[in-house]
Amino acid sequence: MDLFADTPIALPDAELQFLPHWLDAATAQAWFRQLQAETPWQQPELFIHGRSIRVPRLLAWYGDAEASYRYSGLEHRPLPWTPLLAEIRGRIEALAGQRLNGVLLNYYRDGDDSMGWHSDDEAELGANPLIASLNLGGTRRFDLRRKGGGRIVHSLELVDGSLLVMRGATQHHWQHQVAKTRKAVAPRINLTFRLIRGRA
Ligand SMILES: O=C(O)CCC(=O)C(=O)O
Ligand SMILES: [Mn+2]
């Protein structure tokens, strides 16, 4: 038993809870395989300064019908919940203590796949959103820095079966990334559950 397993991460102006062993290894592997196989993965193209760039990972967005979401500058209508994603959502809602109506799936095929610095601060998430992020498959490093740049202040190894919950003002003050790596890394699927609030 790891006594420090669920110790909160003490960063100023952030509320982070990391549960490294949230899921047992057999369930994590079964979920990874099923999601890898059954998800209609997409690799959207972005247009930045007149150039087209493919997002450096694969994505899918699921949710309740009202949970339309903009990410990477594009509007996405949700796919309907699969039985597996609905089950995972229920378990994470129970832990988070709140409703969650959408989930972004990110598939990092290898160390070339990545997610750049950002905060989850889109308007439709409202102030102080709770983001619950489940990790399946290969371990990747998750870095945090103050908004506005500067050095990496804290890093976490997001291991298979772990859950990271970000709450409170975290997204106002901090950015996160999953950088490319030259290390040999196994494929990884990350699921970030969110609550999309209706537009005014
Ligand atoms: O893959 C990860 O751990 C990060 C995912 C993320 O930051 C996001 O989906 O907004
Ligand atoms: Mn994020």
In a domain, 131, yes or no: yes
pLDDT band at 39 (very low <50, low <70, confident <90, very high): very high
Using the atom order of ligand 1, give the atom closest to the CA of residue 120. Answer: 10
- Domain coverage including residue 29: 23-194
In a domain, 4, yes or no: no
pLDDT band at 12 (very low <50, low <70, confident <90, very high): very high
In a domain, 170, yes or no: yes
pLDDT for the residue 72: 63
In a domain, 113, yes or no: yes
Using the atom order of ligand 1, give the atom closest to the CA of residue 106. Answer: 1
In a domain, 137, yes or no: yes
Q: What is the mean pLDDT of the chain?
A: 93
pLDDT for the residue 199: 56
In a domain, 43, yes or no: yes
Residue 4 identity: F
pLDDT tens for each residue of 127-165:
999 999 999 999 999 999 999 889 999 999 999 999 999
pLDDT for the residue 200: 45
User: How close is the Cα of 191 to the center of ligand 1, in Å?
Assistant: 8
Q: Which residue's CA is the nearest one to ligand 1's atom 4?
A: 178
- How far apart are alpha carbons 86 and 110 in whole angstroms? 27
Dihedral angle over CA of 86, 90, 95, 100, nearest 10: 70
Structure tokens at 75: 């509007």
What CATH number did the domain enclosing 73 receive?
A: 2.60.120.590
**More confident position, 19 or 7:** 19
Domain count, the chain: 1
User: How close is the Cα of 90 to the center of ligand 2, in Å?
Assistant: 21
CA dist 192 → 38, 92, 100 (Å): 18, 10, 10
Ligand number with the minimum distance to the CA of 192: 1
Length of the chain: 200
pLDDT band at 1 (very low <50, low <70, confident <90, very high): very low
User: Of 69-73, 107-111, 150-154, which gets the smallest average pLDDT?
Assistant: 69-73
In a domain, 133, yes or no: yes
Q: Which residue's CA is the nearest one to ligand 1's atom 10?
A: 120
In a domain, 11, yes or no: no
Tell me whether residue 10 is exposed, middle or buried, using C-beta atoms within 10 angstroms of its C-beta: 0 to 12, 13 to 18, 19 or more: exposed
Show the ligand 1 pocket: residues with CB < 6 angstroms: 104, 106, 115, 120, 133, 142, 158, 176, 178, 190, 192
* pTM of the complete model: 0.94
